[in-house]
Structure 1
Amino acid sequence: MFNLIDRYIGRQIILASTMILLLLACLQSLFSFIDELGRTGRGSYEVSDALLFVGLMLPSRVLELFPMSVLIGSLFGLGNMAANSELTVMRAAGVTTWRIAGAAVKASLILMVLAIIIGEWVSPISTKAAQQLKTAAISGGELSFSKTGLWARRDNEIIQMGNLLSDGQLKDVTIYQLSDNNRLKGIVKADSAKKQGEHWELYQITELKFLADQIQTHQEEKRIWLNPLQHEQLETLTLEPDTLNIPGLLRYLDYLSENGLETKTYELALWRKLVQPLAICVMMFLAASFVFGPMRNVSMGARIVSGVMLGFGFHIANQSFGPISLVFNLWPALGATIPVLMFALLGYWLMKQNS
């Protein structure tokens, strides 16, 4: 499957792409760390916590930068080979431009596997750990996590929340009310809770009160939550759909469907996860088409600048078409695949013009 030329081209591209990826990830992490410094001092959130948070978020940033880094790295690697006349020698030996582009695409398989490993196993775990660390520090220890959900302590109440949706709505809320000597005096269970204006409301409530000789039960449709968590604390807990792995997204989609909730945002995140390996392949192919086409005789600096512009253009298109598909109620798969197809067609057209 990989002959000598494939391995040589692949090695040049992978080394260049890895170097660019690490450079961009470090730069973005530096900016993120500077931004986090503005949050230090809240609760017990210190500079060391901010540094650890940025480190734990690094896999998700690497994943986000993968397509752009592959494009710039491929332009750098193939451009360097062109500058050293290596591609000219290959073509003189009968290796076609399509064959060289195919070698670049084969190299993308290794990076695709790496992206899948990071996206499915490393990034979800590290991102969740980062959010937990940040939330616990900022809240001063009032919030904690377990397999049963989020737990919090507010005055004489212990609050357990099963799910926190991306819009800040809470699901499966249970409030354990304690007396001054920490004895359980009541339980309030609600199907959901949502912020309405300046206050929170609980919905579909069942309340149990433990009296000396009996247990009183009371049910109601809605009530104001008198002692909720601060909304700023809950905002730090909300994991974006893109940070979940594919099994996690599928489970959450099932949960949303069963409860009659909107699923489009998470469907889009799922399709982006599925399409991302293909995007890496397309970026490799596009880089090869540019090296043999418009960028055949330009300097290395011009190639890098063009790679940044192309990568940024892909990032903008990828971020734009998703929300557009949601606004116009289109199939989320279109929002995830159209940018990749557009850049794939651009690469194909350039290769046809110069083959």
Structure 2
Amino acid sequence: MKFLSILKYTMIGNLRDFKSILSYILFPIILIMILGSALSAAFAPTNIGDIQVVVTNEDDGETGDKIIEFLEDDEFVDFLHLTKNDNLEDAKSEVNEGNQDVLVYINKDYSQKLEDSEKNSVEIMSINESDYKVTIVNQILESYISGLNTVFTSLEYDPTNPSYEMVDLVDEQPITVEGNLPQAIDFYVVTILVMVLMYGTAVSAKEFENNLKGEMGRRIRTAPLRSSTVLLSKLAASVVIVFIQGTIVAAISKYAFGANLGDDPMFVLSIILLGAILGCGLGILVCLLVDDPEKVGGVLTILVPVMTFLSGGFIGGSFMGIEKVMPNYYLQNALFNNIYGSGSVNMSLAYIFIYILIILILALIIGRRRTAW
């Protein structure tokens, strides 16, 4: 009963702050509209385009010419455009100036070293080594050189001519871009919705400071109440507010903007609830750790956007695995996997529950030790 009484009166107090509640709804809605519209072209499917390749062949033997013949094969002519340049420095300049995508360099002793079974390689150069065009050229060359190595190895064990069969390396499979593909609005509805839930840190921190510090805090400490009861009731009140905010943002996004949130509204609501618990719990934990009302707001103002950015919430992509440390990452993944069926929902849910458990345990332990209690 004490828990419900504290929850009730805290909720009444929270609902009086209508401006704050409204701001946490309008801000993400406007952000979704801006990002979903401005970056829509980035989510449109495109073909790989032409790959401009310049080749410098200094090989004294025949292997270099054979490699060039292979790259000029009809299988690759639709997307691989070859230019020969005997001057290596000129070829490098073409790549550096952006006139060519990839430089393939075959050194002077390539054929001889291959025959002598010495270590050797065809070099691939580009100003952007992570470009998918470099990967495509590299895979094509590896397939040929792997076959070449197999032939020479076979000759070492059996001097007679080895038998081999030429096969097509490119298997054309028509695909369609229609179907359940995320558009910009779909992507940002999920990531910004999660950011709203993480802003529950500010809601719960404000509630903690307003009601558990100062005069109100002294009254609560002198009352016959367990610290865990007070903390959990305040947390529950904050969770309700954040859950309502998240639900409204999701509903407006789906029914007003036509965003894709899947066909399971109960799952979406469950993720909103879990995200609200996680965000509000994290807010109270930060408040307990910082223990300075003037600094808490600044910490959370930086923390939430940084977490959203590092989890790929603004531009997508990976940050050397750092995104997997962010709770946003698992909330986003749970929604994306449920909507598009692209991975395990259960794994993401497991991490979410682990985060919630760790945060609540730490908050209870630290809360009992603070003099504010």
TM above 0.5: no
Q: TM-score, normalised by structure 2?
A: 0.42
Q: TM-score, normalised by structure 1?
A: 0.43
Instruction: Please say which structure displays the higher CA radius of gyration.
Output: 2
More strand by share: 1
